[in-house]
Structure 1
């Protein structure tokens, strides 16, 4: 599997799984029913951020976006978001993307990485981020309206980079 910077030509491969994941209503608070152009504006980062794709045999299996968590005086802490095509799950795509973002943030001089909204019922993501060294700093109760579970908490997770 190769992880490389995403280009506009990758968007047609990203959008179908991006849309399916958002529409499922379990992991992202993006608005429902977004068209391709609006979704692209939310996902495809401009510098100093970056969007990447995980590719195997020419097939886009997942994508991640990363950059500063906040502008200005908070720009020394990175953030990231991740989506894996459901057809590619179980192949280590999320872990590879997570490791990529950690190494990218470290190389770019960020002091840490903060995830602002990890849905507590997204057990796979919570397990992965903990395995990669992230801690749950707090949980905002009932901050996410899950289709399957109703109102559930959102974890704020953090990893200090040394």
Structure 2
């Protein structure tokens, strides 16, 4: 059974392990695959972030964050980032986190969620977000330097809450 809860500092090592595994592939996130733990945990769990973990039998199998997409007059739109442990791929964790985050964003007072950068070749994520009601509202040419495919487009995806 997948459970979602707010992340605590006790989760940081497990969150880092997921982040490290995901960014090391250089195929879905813009972060340098050699980014250090401190930098990534500050980004993922730092000030202004609502960070969560998805657990199975008490072990962190996924993590996501919600934050203001823009400051001040743009803060009513959320932005999010999601990662699933490669060991837990295919178990529905991404879908559960996505569904939870949509409701959580509403509870936090957001009026919409916008993803500024979804790598086009990350077809699994694009399909999931579309199934959860997100629309592609823009495409950025050659925005991502994919480690295997070279320059790759990225989508901007949006859902009004």
TM-score (norm 2): 0.96
| 1:159 corresponding residue in structure 2 | 159
Residue in structure 2 matched with residue 138 of structure 1 by the alignment: 138
| Distance in 2 of aligned mates of 1:108 and 1:19 | 28
Secondary structure, aligned partner of 1:130: helix
Contact 2:25-2:33 at 8 Å conserved across structures: no
Look up the SS of the partner of 2:60 in the other structure.
Answer: strand
Partner Cα separation in structure 2 for residue 108 and residue 45 of structure 1: 17
List per-residue Cα deviations over 1:102-158 (Å, max 9, x = no partner): 001111221110000000000000000000000000100100010121111010000
**Following TM superposition, where does structure 1 have runs of at least 4 consecutive aligned residues deviating by more than 4 angstroms?**
none
| In 2: Cα distance, 1:68 partner to 1:2 partner | 24
Aligned counterparts of 1:62 and 1:17: Cα–Cα separation in 2: 7
Between stretches 83-92 and 35-44, larger displacement belongs to: 35-44
Is there any run of 5+ residues in structure 1 with no aligned partner, and where?
none
* Superposition deviation, residue 43 in structure 1: 0.7
Output aligned runs, 1:30-45, within 5 Å. 30-45=31-46
In 1, distance between residues paired with 2:155 and 2:36? 28
For residues 134 and 82 of structure 2, what CA distance do their matches in structure 1 show? Answer: 15
Deviation string for 1:64-94 (max 9, x for gaps)? 0111101100001001000000000111100
Per the alignment, residue 52 of structure 2 pairs with 52
Whether the aligned pair in 2 keeps the contact of 1:45 and 1:65 (CA below 8 Å) is no
Give yes or no for the alignment of 1:12 onto 2:13.
yes
Aligned-partner Cα distance in 2 for 1:110–1:160: 9
3-state SS of 1:129 partner: helix
Q: Answer with 29-38 or 18-27: which moved more.
A: 29-38
TM-score of the aligned structures, taking structure 1 as reference length: 0.96
Superposed displacement of residue 46, structure 1: 2.9
What is the match of residue 117 of structure 1? 117
Matches within 5 A, 1:20-35: 20-35=21-36
Structure 1 position 92 matched with structure 2 position 92: yes
Match of 2:155, SS state, is strand
SS state of the match for residue 24, structure 1?
coil
